[in-house]
Amino acid sequence: MTKLSVNINKIATLRNARGGNIPNVVEAAKKIESFGGQGITVHPRPDERHITYKDVRDLSPIVGTEFNIEGNPVAKFINLVMEAKPAQVTLVPDAEDAITSNAGWDTIKNKGFLQEVIQEFKNNGIRTSIFVDPDEKMIEGAAETGTDRIELYTEEFAVKYAEGDKTGVESYKRCATIAHQLGLGINAGHDLSLDNIKYFKENVPYLDEVSIGHALIAEALYLGLETTIQKYLELLK
């Protein structure tokens, strides 16, 4: 079964809109795990506009499933990850002013940098994943960095699927097959939802984990958090 890691950034966004500590991200993480969520994902950005560095430190000792920290490996982020010691760190090439992740790594151009950062994390027992576009050359480049996994950036698939074009999954299928042949684990995330997750899961082989935040939290407004998580788990079987 493909694991479901729930990104709780949007819960922090809601809290920050009002100030204070409602909703509480630590309590939300506990609830998500109790409802069957198999991982908690956070993506702290340098401006801390949603998940803060304090949130990461608060979450680290209480997450009982897999804790996944995403972000651009600048010095401040690297230090935070080393302190929190999550199960997984996902490297994302975000610009500081990016609203959300919008591109994967050029694993060929950034090979040396990624090798250095990944080795540091792996020396500390932290599994590494690289956020990549569904491009075969970028997958091959990722394998040369020493990463344990890749995370396929799935916006392109989601957009085409919403337009009724199911051929958008083909590049992901090819890239997942290549990644598996190269010994890489395969994660996926961005714009996956209850509408498209089943089709993606059925057509992309060797899928270890999906990380879903924006859609899941939005769907939970209508369905409830527990029901939404249970629906995802059923579709990922």
Burial class of residue 30 (count of CB atoms within 10 Å of its CB; 0-12, 13-18, 19+): middle
CA angle 158, 230, 191 (to 5 degrees): 15
Instruction: Extract the residue ranges of the chain whose pLDDT is less than 70.
Output: 95-102
Could you tell me the residue range of the domain that residue 142 belongs to? 3-235
Contacts of residue 114, defined as CB under 8 A and 6 or more positions apart, other chains included, come to 91, 105, 107, 130, 145, 147
pLDDT, tens digit, 9 for 90 and up, residues 82-94: 999 999 999 999 7
Q: Which of 33, 50, 151, 190 is catalytic?
A: 190
Contact 50, 9 (CB under 8 A): yes
- Percent of the chain with pLDDT strictly greater than 90: 94
To the query of whether residue 70 is one of the catalytic residues in this protein, the response is yes
Q: Which of 70, 151, 209, 219 is catalytic?
A: 70
| Strand locations in 8-120 (E) | 39-42, 66-71, 88-91
CA angle 236, 59, 219 (to 5 degrees): 40
To the query of whether residue 43 is one of the catalytic residues in this protein, the response is yes
Which tokens in the block code for residue 75?
């010095």
Which tokens in the block code for residue 90?
């996902």
Whole-number pLDDT of residue 78 = 97
Q: How far apart are the first and last CA of the chain?
A: 5
Whole-number pLDDT of residue 102 = 61
Residue type for position 36: G
Whichever domain contains 200, its CATH number is 3.20.20.70
Q: Considering its fold, how many domains does the chain have in total?
A: 1
Q: What is the Cα–Cα distance from 147 to 8, expressed in whole angstroms?
A: 24
